Structure 1
Amino acid sequence: MTAVVGILNRRGAAIAADSAVTRHRGFKGEKITKNGNKMLRLSNVVPISIMLTGNGDFLHVQWDIVIRRYRQERGNIEHATVKDCAQDFFDYIASKDIFFDLAIVKQFILSVISRTYEDVVQAMPRNLDIRDEHGKLKKAKSFATSFENQCRKYQKVFLKNGICSQFENYTFDDFKKFLSTTDMVEQFAMKYGYDEEDCFVFSKGMPLNLLHGVMEEFLRTVYIRLIERHSRGGRLAELVFTGFGTEEKYPSLLSAITYEGFDNHVNYYFRKEVHIDDKHPVAICPFAQDDITNSILQGIHEKYELNLFMSFPILIADDNVAECTPDLDSQPEDYEDSIEEIDVGMDDQNFMPEWELMEVQDEDLKKQVNSALQVHKKQNQRQWEKALESYNLEAMAALAESLIDLTGFQRILNFDPEGVGGPVDVAVISRNDGFTWLSRKSWYHHKDTNGQYGRLGV
């Protein structure tokens, strides 16, 4: 995990990133180290930086290696905008076979194939997955038919997310052609298909003849899943581009979600774009573990907001009990008998039971409180933005560094996994002075260049 933040106004941008890196070790759990490099220069001639969150590599190639190779080969191109530079960066990755090791790509696609198969089966009716003592399906044809129908449903779900730009002209036939150069389909068939004559125990797949019959629809589902715009998952990385293009008067920020790639195509799309101008002179943009920064800016932590709404049914129930329940001890002796004689003056069909009334009150109150909270959060953040309009780069950098430090400190106080922490790298970017390090891990610092480039060209 990580925390990075960018603060922009018309003077320039201040960016900060922590150094904590979570390294997954399979069944052995995970280990957090505090030596990661999450902020690097992207260009030699235009002041544009890149900050990294999420998955630390692209198909097992560390992002900092990819970035340095890009800067070495394309770092002297003067891009008109930050977005132009970001698009060129992903085009560069797609153009280099070195980033698409076939063994790694096969491993990635096979994992998606297996996960998709398991998800489709999990969504099917359970009564179709009944097997005999050998693990063979008792309703194999119905299972295959339902499997194919569920594949079509998943395709519609995936397509709602949209297609990543590099795959807009990449067809299903292109995908099948790519698969034909490997043995991935054969490996899938061996794992999830069985011959009716075999007597070994099998608990996942279906007969080979039926599997081949649904293969086209299943592979189409995998294809759409590979090229869709992903919003969650362990392989996702978010790359945050910040700075000035040659034609940009004020700084801009752009974040891109990436989800691996294959066949010399990168699965990425732009999630957030911020352009500073006279109408929008300030932006505060936290990424990854952004809860502490948002709670400072908006005036309430997301956990407290959630707990507030979770407690509504209890609060309203308590209010109803307090206000509506009569004190029988204080009533006259014939009180219960007199209740039956009272004409409530309403049709029984229109009478709303107390629990339904409580539910309506609950939802109505939630909407009112949520509306008031959103107004409060926007007003609170607007006050921060007004103050930051006059901040210089040094003050913005101090604020950015403090926000990262506070996030790490909160993790220590709450005994949460310390996924944020370590040295905080800080830099400022201006149109006139370019990219300048203010704080950098000591073993990267190079005094001869006034900290601008770093000893290793970072």
Structure 2
Amino acid sequence: MINQQRNSCNELEFYQFIETFSNVEIFEFLKDIFETEKYNEKFKEIIKEYDESKINLNNLKKCFCSYIFNISTGIVIAGFNKEDMFPSYVSFNIIANVNNMLLYQDMDTKLNYSGTLIIPFAQTDVIGTYLSGINETLENEIKKHFVNIMENYICNMYDHINVEKLEKINEIKNQLTKNFKNNINSLKKDFYSPILESLDFLPREEIGNLAESLIQITSLKRKIDSNLESVGGNIDVALISKGDGFIWKKRNPYFDPKINPQFFDEKMNKNF
């Protein structure tokens, strides 16, 4: 993962990439393992390949935790608590099974939520683009490009201004960068808000159609831009409401009904 990142960006971007893991949590079951001489030596070997003054050993370990997290299994549970008027959902990632103990990390949660939301899980890039008007990868690249422009501008001024002015310029640069990122987030929110407002007036069936269409768009994109068709096949759609409970809107059988008539004959016999 680290080598791939190093080969795909310049030196400054690479060390910024490692720094982004500074807020990642190191899983408890890995803390003792990381402290052993065997694993410490492995991390130190990786660091030797780069500028040791710019790469933090602890951040490298957090980078590894992030990699583990990315190959975890996500589970989402949604519906209504009996005592609640509005829907809830909880999501968490199962990371590993260590000595018969399930290791998981809590993710996003909304309980008895009365607002309007569209929440994509797993492969979220295409749905995120539809909702915000910009691809997340493209957005990050634009932000990085802006930061690089500002950094290069400051570097070119080193020989022409004194230290006091340089400190002031750095402050201005940081504020401009912050404002730029905030403006992008504000534009995304302006793009997203009308979509959420329209959901309040859609009938249940149309909401189900919207969910199915978003998955179909993701599936189409995967077929076009990737050799790995990780989203595809028939789509099941279900609606959960306070009054009706769990209702299948569209459920695809895992077998061909035409060549399995005995299944339906058995069900008919049981009903009678």
What's the TM-score once normalised by structure 1's chain length?
0.39
Q: Give the number of the structure whose alpha-carbon radius of gyration is greater.
A: 1
Q: How far apart are residue 309 of structure 1 and its match?
A: 2.1
Counterpart in 1 of 2:25?
none
Counterpart in 2 of 1:442?
253
Q: What does 1:368-387 align with in structure 2 at a 5 Å threshold?
A: 368-387=179-198
Deviations along 1:88-111, whole A, 9 cap, x unmatched?
xxxxxxxxxxxxxxxxxxxxxxx9
1:119–1:113 CA distance, 2 compared to 1 (3 A): same
1:230–1:246 CA distance, 2 compared to 1 (3 A): farther
Q: How far apart are residue 398 of structure 1 and its match?
A: 0.6
Deviations along 1:211-244, whole A, 9 cap, x unmatched?
xxxxxxxxxxxxxxxxx9997143x211100112
1:263–1:311 CA distance, 2 compared to 1 (3 A): closer
The percent identity for this pair of structures is 23
1:427–1:363 CA distance, 2 compared to 1 (3 A): same
Deviations along 1:95-140, whole A, 9 cap, x unmatched?
xxxxxxxxxxxxxxxx9998886532223489xxxxxxxxxxxxxx
Q: Which has the higher helix share?
A: 2
d(CA) in 2 for partners of 1:257, 1:349: 49
The reply on whether 1:390 has 2:227 as its aligned counterpart is no
AA aligned to 2:189 is: K
5+ residue gaps, structure 1, are 1-110, 127-149, 159-227, 325-343, 447-453
1:438–1:290 CA distance, 2 compared to 1 (3 A): same
Counterpart in 2 of 1:254?
90
RMSD: 4.3
Maintained 8 Å contact 2:238/2:247:
yes
Maintained 8 Å contact 1:281/1:389:
no
Maintained 8 Å contact 1:297/1:381:
yes
AA aligned to 1:367 is: K
AA aligned to 1:240 is: V
Counterpart in 2 of 1:296?
130
Of residues 4, 24, 43, the one that matches 1:123 is 43
Moved >6 Å (runs of 4+): 111-116, 228-231, 317-320
AA aligned to 2:198 is: A
d(CA) in 2 for partners of 1:244, 1:352: 57
Q: How far apart are residue 396 of structure 1 and its match?
A: 1.0
1:230–1:412 CA distance, 2 compared to 1 (3 A): closer
Counterpart in 1 of 2:121?
287
Q: How far apart are residue 260 of structure 1 and its match?
A: 3.0
d(CA) in 2 for partners of 1:416, 1:360: 46
AA aligned to 1:267 is: L
d(CA) in 2 for partners of 1:286, 1:257: 15
Q: How far apart are residue 363 of structure 1 and its match?
A: 4.2
1:230–1:253 CA distance, 2 compared to 1 (3 A): farther
Aligned partner of residue 286 in structure 1, secondary structure:
coil
Counterpart in 2 of 1:232?
69
May I ask how many residue pairs the two structures share in their alignment? 212
Aligned partner of residue 254 in structure 2, secondary structure:
helix
Q: What does 1:173-322 align with in structure 2 at a 5 Å threshold?
A: 232-234=69-71, 236-277=72-113, 280-312=114-146
Maintained 8 Å contact 2:238/2:250:
yes
Q: How far apart are residue 289 of structure 1 and its match?
A: 0.7
1:259–1:370 CA distance, 2 compared to 1 (3 A): same
Maintained 8 Å contact 1:427/1:437:
yes
Q: What does 1:350-429 align with in structure 2 at a 5 Å threshold?
A: 350=164, 352=166, 363-415=174-226, 417-429=228-240
Report which structure shows greater RCO (CA 8 Å, sep ≥6): 1
d(CA) in 1 for partners of 2:66, 2:44: 25
Counterpart in 1 of 2:9?
none
5+ residue gaps, structure 2, are 1-29, 47-56, 258-266, 268-272
d(CA) in 2 for partners of 1:352, 1:257: 46
Maintained 8 Å contact 2:69/2:95:
no
Q: How far apart are residue 400 of structure 1 and its match?
A: 0.6
1:249–1:375 CA distance, 2 compared to 1 (3 A): same
Q: How far apart are residue 294 of structure 1 and its match?
A: 1.2
d(CA) in 2 for partners of 1:237, 1:311: 33
Q: How far apart are residue 394 of structure 1 and its match?
A: 0.8
